[in-house]
Structure 1
Amino acid sequence: MATAFPLLRLPYLVLMPVLEQMKFLDRSVKTCMISASITIGLSLLSKRARIFVKLLKMNCKHIDLILTGNRIVMEVFFDNSEELRVLMYTDKCQRINFIYRDMMSISWFPGSPLPIDYAFSIMDVMHCKSIDKFIIVKISEHDCLPIIAKLPKIDEVVVEHDWPDVISYEEYFQTEKQLLRVLRTVLPVSSAVFITYQFQNSNHLQEILKGNLDAVILKHSDNYITLNDLSITNAKILEIHTGKLDERDLNHYFKLWMKKICNDRLEYLEVRTYGKISMDLLLDGLNAVPVRIDTKKTFRVLGNVKRFVPEDLFEKMTREFDITRVDKRTATIKISNYGNIFFLRLARIY
């Protein structure tokens, strides 16, 4: 029987050139990626191995985690547009697979450590300090909370949850409660949430809105949003797609802002109402001052001073007004040709 080669027992000056050969060199992309996956896999064997692999200074553009059913998919994106996928299963087996271009390169059953511990090792050797996106596609039938409770900083949580096989409201409600448990676990370590899911229970959505997040984006237009929901938010950036809020609601909200009663952190608000806007109802009692559309202004969004530019190239601003708060802070209300309403707090330039 062949004897295993004691790689990690090699002297440092010999070991490092060997590991360098597994790094990204001027070889074919396929060979590079397989070598990279082997190198990353090597780092999972022990703390000593991870220390040596980390010295190679391998880097990635960003790392995403996707929760889909009974597995967490780790996607490592490299500068050369290539991607390494690591499948971490949350069931009893807790096996882990490395995949490149749908081709299995490494597969084993790790044993006692949680799958997320291996994700931490990969992030460490890739010098990645945070997860770019944690995407929730499907809630697992297995309890994944012990795994995701250990996650580090997350830049953005994305909820794409959909349950086409759920046939009753009670079943839907119970699954949504599981989703909320996951969100309660990951949102405290995140700064933003992007939701395309339609919540069936308004209390579940309110719990998210009350969180201390920098950005909350609700893309599903069927989520039932009320003036009370809007007034309890604490986000710096708030984007809502809804047909439920009308001009009276937004007028009342702007008055609360002017009196410093709600969300002093608000820097940017976007409400897509999908309807025609009544300017009289929207601006009633705001003492709004009309402003020329081409007036150049700067706004502060998450600490950055920038110009306002709509994402849609065909969306144009048709009306613009300034309102002033009791502490003399000024904000601008913009109305687009699509009937969308934007609120932007003006930056103080020193």
Structure 2
Amino acid sequence: MYLFFRIAFSIISKRTNNLSKCLYQVPPCSINLQVNPFFSEIRIFPANLILHFEENASETVGLLHHFQPVKWKNAGLSTKQWIQRVLAVTKCSSLNEVLLFGKHDYDVFSVLNIVSKVCCLYIMPHCCNALAKEAVEVLSPVTSSITLFKVPFSNREEFQIFWMGNVECLSIYNDDLSSVQFSLNDLLASNAVKLELTDVPMSLRDLNRFFSCWLNRTSNHRLEHLSVKLLEDINEDVLLERLGATRFTEQRAREYQSTKTFPKFRKFTGGFFRSSNTFTEFIGGFDVRRIDGKLAAITFGNTLTKKLINFDVWP
């Protein structure tokens, strides 16, 4: 019985609901949950199934099964109950993504309290600060990756508590962090393993100082990847001053490209990196070595509108 039919089977009665929980389990991190002020949506990848719940639990539930639209009668369940039912039938204790576009008419966190892990949390641009802040506070302990299209903190102290937490991967887009007076000292104090900053003002001299601190082991020891997008042109002399950087040879570049630890780079030809997926051309790569012998790579190039600098620690 396909998952599509098992979910339908579960809403016939309490007995079929209990029986359906014994029939199926999706692989971990195979479900995405999207919460919007006007609807919620669940996407289940192994089953090619999308369930769409309108605001205030309308009389029908919209589904897309193998790209074919279907409508079910609501069967008296609220949006919250529908999501709980799907999570129960799939026996899914870990979600792939939770995307918060805004507040719905149910408490999303009471639904997620049975979830042991959320691989990726996305706070979208128009999500209200109260919901975004609560999501970060509640889900950070079970989330390995957080992407913020807005920073919801009202003061610098709140931001610093979050910033120095133990989130493994943190990405910040379209927010210059001026509201929390972000500076180089914050970058040095970060505890993230992977960090991506877009539109956060960082000068080449700031990045040079950051790299110098890493080489001297006076910055984040957990850091494995840093990506920064800038508006200014990249001056190698300023960026690499006193770092003892060694330019990649073609052989070294190929070795770098073949290491899956560095997913930003896809192809090496003719002295530069090109990524057709992100429309990014990467020019130049340099090795730098920390005082304890740990090796890292500094690479940089151009996107369509910005300059990109990556810093990756070799495994």
Q: Of 30, 37, 40, which aligns to 1:62?
A: 30
Residue 276 to residue 324, structure 1, CA distance change in 2 (3 Å): same
Query: Which residue identity lines up with residue 332 of structure 1 in the other structure?
Result: A
Q: Of 217, 222, 238, which aligns to 2:176?
A: 222
Q: Of 229, 233, 236, which aligns to 2:190?
A: 233
CA shift at 1:110, angstroms?
Answer: 4.8
Q: TM-score by structure 1 length? A: 0.70
Q: Does 1:258 align with 2:211?
A: no
Structure having the higher Rg: 1
Give the structure with the higher percent strand.
Answer: 2
> Is the 8 Å Cα contact of residues 233 and 263 (structure 1) preserved in structure 2?
yes
Q: Of 243, 250, 264, which aligns to 1:286?
A: 243
Matched position secondary structure for 2:255: coil
Mapping of residues 178-327 of structure 1, within 5 Å: 178-197=131-150, 199=152, 201=154, 203=156, 204-220=158-174, 222-224=176-178, 225-295=182-252, 296-298=254-256, 305=261, 309=265, 312-313=275-276, 314-327=279-292
Matched position secondary structure for 2:237: helix
Instruction: Calculate percent identity across the aligned residue pairs.
Output: 19
2:73 equivalent in structure 1: 106
Deviation string, structure 1 residues 271-327 (Cα, Å, up to 9, x no partner)? 1112201222211221222222552335899xx646751584243332221111121
Matched position secondary structure for 1:138: coil
| Alpha-carbon separation, structure 1, partners of 2:240 and 2:210 | 11
Please list every run of 5 or more consecutive structure 1 residues that lacks an aligned counterpart in the other structure: 1-22, 25-31, 164-174
| Alpha-carbon separation, structure 2, partners of 1:315 and 1:107 | 46
Deviation string, structure 1 residues 76-129 (Cα, Å, up to 9, x no partner)? 3443x342335686xxxx899643257541324459xx936x634423432434
Q: TM-score by structure 2 length? A: 0.77
2:11 equivalent in structure 1: 41
Matched position secondary structure for 2:141: helix
| Alpha-carbon separation, structure 2, partners of 1:300 and 1:96 | 53
Once the two structures are overlaid, the 10-residue window that deviates more, 330-339 or 51-60, is 51-60
2:52 equivalent in structure 1: 85
Once the two structures are overlaid, the 10-residue window that deviates more, 244-253 or 222-231, is 222-231
| Alpha-carbon separation, structure 2, partners of 1:154 and 1:249 | 33
Say what the alpha-carbon RMSD is for the aligned residues. 3.5
